[in-house]
């Protein structure tokens, strides 16, 4: 949304501009797994991850219409490294904390809360963005934009019309629209930065426990019947 609305990039170019984020996250995730395997430590990686994620999210707030591309790439890399350190590390920490019998339940619960958090963040962030675009409506109207453009920039439709910026020929009007998008996205990142700050505080309470070198197999399913119960069951199903 930022690259297409504020930087007037095409969908293809905005995808290319996101490559620094993707290319930084993948090797960082592999490096985190390697470090945990070699050292058995995961708490420090969680601390580093939440710190860099919060820092990157906070730096997104400073992204404006005139932010240079080199700075954007640097912010992407910082944020990507922070998020990548939290891909698998919390799961390992959780599985190493609970009992073996509760591993499946704990894993499923973490996945559930992650999906729930993702859904809520998209919805709440979208509401903040829409309300911010509505708040900029008087400024957009004062720029003598056409009725169709104002309708497209309405809070309910702005996210679906991020490419409208490049269609405005008047330079002054285009700058007003870019400022509106940048300001609205900034408010959304302020929300995400606030949530990330809470996560930093919560990460302090993560405890490091010793990771066993021996692998213990966990068998799932219905508990086996004792020999007497099995024999009784066999007698009940025998026909004369």
pLDDT in tens, 173-188: 999 999 999 999 999 9
CATH of the domain at 172: 1.20.1250
Domain membership of residue 135 (yes or no) is yes
Domain membership of residue 214 (yes or no) is no
d(Cα 60, Cα 27) in Å, to the nearest integer? 22
Domain membership of residue 220 (yes or no) is no
Say what the pLDDT of residue 236 is: 55
Of the candidates 103, 105, 58, the one whose C-alpha atom is nearest the C-alpha of residue 79 is 58
More confident: 137 or 224 = 137
Check whether 98 has a pLDDT greater than 90. no
Do the Cβ atoms of 187 and 128 come closer than 8 Å? yes
**pLDDT tens digits for range 15-74:** 999 999 999 999 999 999 899 888 888 999 999 999 999 999 999 999 999 999 999 999
Q: Which domain holds residue 102?
A: 2-208
Give the predicted TM-score (pTM) of the model.
0.81
Domain membership of residue 55 (yes or no) is yes
| Phi, psi for 40 (deg, rounded to 5) | 75, 10
d(Cα 203, Cα 44) in Å, to the nearest integer? 10
Say what the pLDDT of residue 69 is: 93
Domain membership of residue 221 (yes or no) is no
**pLDDT tens digits for range 214-232:** 666 666 555 544 555 555 6
Domain membership of residue 165 (yes or no) is yes
What's the pLDDT band for 213 if we cut at 50, 70, 90? low
Per the structure block, which two tokens stand in for 178? 């870019």
Domain membership of residue 218 (yes or no) is no
Domain membership of residue 123 (yes or no) is yes
Mean pLDDT of 97-109: 86
d(Cα 32, Cα 30) in Å, to the nearest integer? 5
């Amino acid at each position: 949304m930022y690259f297409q609305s504020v930087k007037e990039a095409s969908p293809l170019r905005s995808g290319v501009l996101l490559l620094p984020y993707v290319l930084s996250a993948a090797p960082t995730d592999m490096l985190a797994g390697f470090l945990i395997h070699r050292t058995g430590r995961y708490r420090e990686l969680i601390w580093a991850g939440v710190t860099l994620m919060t820092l990157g999210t906070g730096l997104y707030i400073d992204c404006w219409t005139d932010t240079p591309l080199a700075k954007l790439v640097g912010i992407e890399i910082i944020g990507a490294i922070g998020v990548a350190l939290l891909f698998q590390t919390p799961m390992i920490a959780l599985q190493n904390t609970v009992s073996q019998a509760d591993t499946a339940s704990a894993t499923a619960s973490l996945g559930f809360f992650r999906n729930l958090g993702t859904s809520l963040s998209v919805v709440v962030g979208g509401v903040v963005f829409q309300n911010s675009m509505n708040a900029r409506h008087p400024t957009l109207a004062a720029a003598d934009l056409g009725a169709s453009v104002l309708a497209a920039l309405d809070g309910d439709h702005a996210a679906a019309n991020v490419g409208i910026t490049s269609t405005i020929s008047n330079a002054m009007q285009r700058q007003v629209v870019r400022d509106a998008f940048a300001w609205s996205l900034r408010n959304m990142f302020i929300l995400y930065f606030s949530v990330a700050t809470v996560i930093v505080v919560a990460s302090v309470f993560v405890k490091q426990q010793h990771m066993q070198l021996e692998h213990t197999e966990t068998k799932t399913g219905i508990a086996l019947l004792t020999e007497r119960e099995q024999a009784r069951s066999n007698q009940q199903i025998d026909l004369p």
